[in-house]
Chains A and B, each alone.
Chain A
Amino acid sequence: MNAKTRDKVATAVIYALVSVVVVILFGIIGNILVSGVPHLSWHFLTSEASSYQAGGGVRDQLFNSLYLLVLTMIISLPIALGAAIYLAEYATDNWFTSLIRTTIEILSSLPSIVVGLFGYLLFVVQFGFGFSIISGALALTFFNLPTLTSNIEQAIAGVPQTQRDAGLALGLSNWKTIRGIVLPAALPGILTGVILSAGRIFGEAAALIYTAGQSGSTIDYSNWNPFSPTSFLNVMRPAETLAVHIWKVNTEGIIPDADIVSAATSALLIIVVILFNLGARALGNHLYRKLTAAKS
């Protein structure tokens, strides 16, 4: 085989492999959307889940998923950002730093069911939070922190050293260089990391089954007092999310339309994740422009 044929074969193999990936991805997403979207309706989105009869919705599950995502991000983003800045900018190359990095790598490959059981023992039982949104959010924080930290660290480390030098040469302190130059430059990468982990959080079921619980309490969306047991904002109430709902109707659900409900819920889950990605990208571009354009 001469070089030219070899090049052609290699190209063909690469194209074939990428088509396998594309076919699998489009197949899965297409299948979910095709079987789920026809069952999506306003009624489905705005009514409570039903326990015995057909025709229930996922209003509370949808809200719970979003609420858990927001809470998890509020808790984990500052911690991950701080840790990532430390690792990328301050940590020196020594055994302690490599210990941190190894720990992060190990934690990020921890199965989520293990995180869930750990969260059950620590938050639900030990801290007495019960099956609650806050237990779920804390478990998801544990689940999310390693990946988010290393994503943000990579984004920060990707900013060229010359940018830091230029900042220092203008008389900026280390911190001002990080805040004023490195972070804005790393923002698109940081946002990609946040989006990726948001998708993971939104679709997570195993870590939540033992922490946020599987039952929905009665929720009152007009009750804005977060300490009231029926308020939708109460973080101590148990909360079933979309992903957990899919798992539940398929394993122990006794509703007659379980197939339809789980197909529609899966489609909804995917659509929300896509919308969230697009929204975060738009927000990222807006933020980036705002941070980098002239202040007038």
Chain B
Amino acid sequence: MTNIMTASDVHLSYGPVEALHGISMNFEEKELTALLGPSGCGKSTFLRCLNRMNDDIDNIKITGKITFEDEDIYGSKMDLVKLRKEVGMVFQQPTPFPFSIYNNVAYGLHLAGVKDKSIIDQRVEESLKQAAIWNEVKDDLNKNAQALSGGQQQRICIARALAVHPKVVLLDEPTSALDPISSSEIEETLLSLKHEFTFIMVTHNLQQASRISDKTAFLMNGDLIEYGSTEDMFINPKKQITSDYLNGRFG
């Protein structure tokens, strides 16, 4: 196993309020890491640091170091477009663009300068298959993606993120806005893909984390409390507070 992303002593503050108090953790390649914690613990904020989605927020200050493949992503030489091509993201609310299904998935490829129609066609099909939605939409690729159901939209967004062949995909509560059936379809999708991609997923759903993640990190009030293999953590948590949270005593 090799490290693909490393965060060292990441502090983040909005104006005078510090939201992350020094988070250090490694992410292994081709694993699914779940970030757990009560609302407001900073897990989404931390996730959004990993592809610099927090950059445009006013009054924000981020210190510490985050590396992706040994390169400092906040370094002056970092190309933001390249970083976001390698580190894709899927949001809590499905966010299909108001385009056709085909163009949604092809958008990142157009952006990356892929011109060859046959390559784009093939990548669109491959990504839609990986996101387990190909069979439902293959005859309707010109349909507006916003006309699909929520679960389908979310899988289109996963396909869109996968189409540019990222190495890491960040998932910000990807199933919390979906019904249970759609959620379990997304979980299946992630399970089948986690040997090809590195996933880092924020979730509120403890069962989901225990079902599909390899590693789990527990965050609270801007601190990383515990981080280890999901199995160890759920069966034998090292800290009392982790155990309390996992057993539903708070949060």
Interface string of B94-110 (1 = CB under 8 A from A): 01011110110001100
In the complex, how many angstroms separate the beta carbon of A285 from the nearest chain B beta carbon?
12
Q: Which of A21-29, A164-172, A252-260, A269-277 contacts B (4 or more CB under 8 A)?
A: A164-172
Contact of B95 among A165, A174, A291, A294 (CB under 8 A): A165
Report Cα–Cα, A63/B141, bound state, in Å.
44
Q: What B residues does A166 contact at CB under 8 A? A: 89, 91, 95, 97, 157
| Interface 0/1 of B129-161, CB less than 8 Å to A | 000000000000110100000000000010011
Given A162-B91, A169-B89, A171-B81: A294 in contact with B102 (beta carbons within 8 A)? yes
Question: Does B84 sit at the interface, judged by CB under 8 A?
Answer: yes
A4 CB within 8 Å of chain B: no
**Nearest Cβ on chain A to B114's Cβ, whole angstroms:** 13
Task: Determine whether the beta carbon of B108 is less than 8 Å from that of A171.
Answer: yes
Measured between beta carbons, the chain A residues less than 8 angstroms from B88 are 169-170
Interface of A is mostly: helix
Q: Are B107 and A170 in contact (CB under 8 A)?
A: yes
Residues of chain B within 8 A (CB-CB) of A97 are none
Task: Say whether B51 contacts A169, CB under 8 Å.
Answer: yes
Q: A166-B157, A294-B100 are in contact. Are A171 and B91 (CB under 8 A)?
A: no
Q: Which residue of A lies closest to B102 (CB)?
A: A294
Q: Is there an interface contact between B108 and A170, defined as CB atoms closer than 8 Å?
A: yes
A171 touches B80 (CB 8 A): yes
**Cβ of A125 to closest chain B Cβ, rounded Å:** 47
Interface residues of B, count at CB 8 A: 32
Residues in chain A near residue B45, CB distance under 8 A: none
Q: B123 within 8 Å of A by Cβ?
A: no
- With a CB–CB cut-off of 8 A, which chain A residues contact B89? 166, 169
In the bound complex, how far is the Cα of B89 from the Cα of A171, in angstroms?
A: 10
B60 surroundings in chain A (CB, below 8 A): none
Query: Can you spell out 18 A-B residue pairs with CB atoms less than 8 angstroms apart?
Result: A162-B93, A162-B95, A163-B95, A167-B97, A168-B56, A169-B51, A169-B91, A169-B161, A170-B88, A171-B111, A172-B111, A288-B98, A292-B99, A292-B144, A293-B100, A293-B142, A294-B100, A294-B142
> 20 additional contacts, CB 8 Å, given A170-B160, A185-B98?
A160-B95, A162-B93, A165-B95, A166-B97, A168-B53, A169-B84, A169-B161, A170-B88, A170-B111, A170-B164, A171-B80, A171-B82, A171-B108, A171-B111, A176-B111, A181-B97, A292-B98, A292-B144, A293-B142, A294-B103
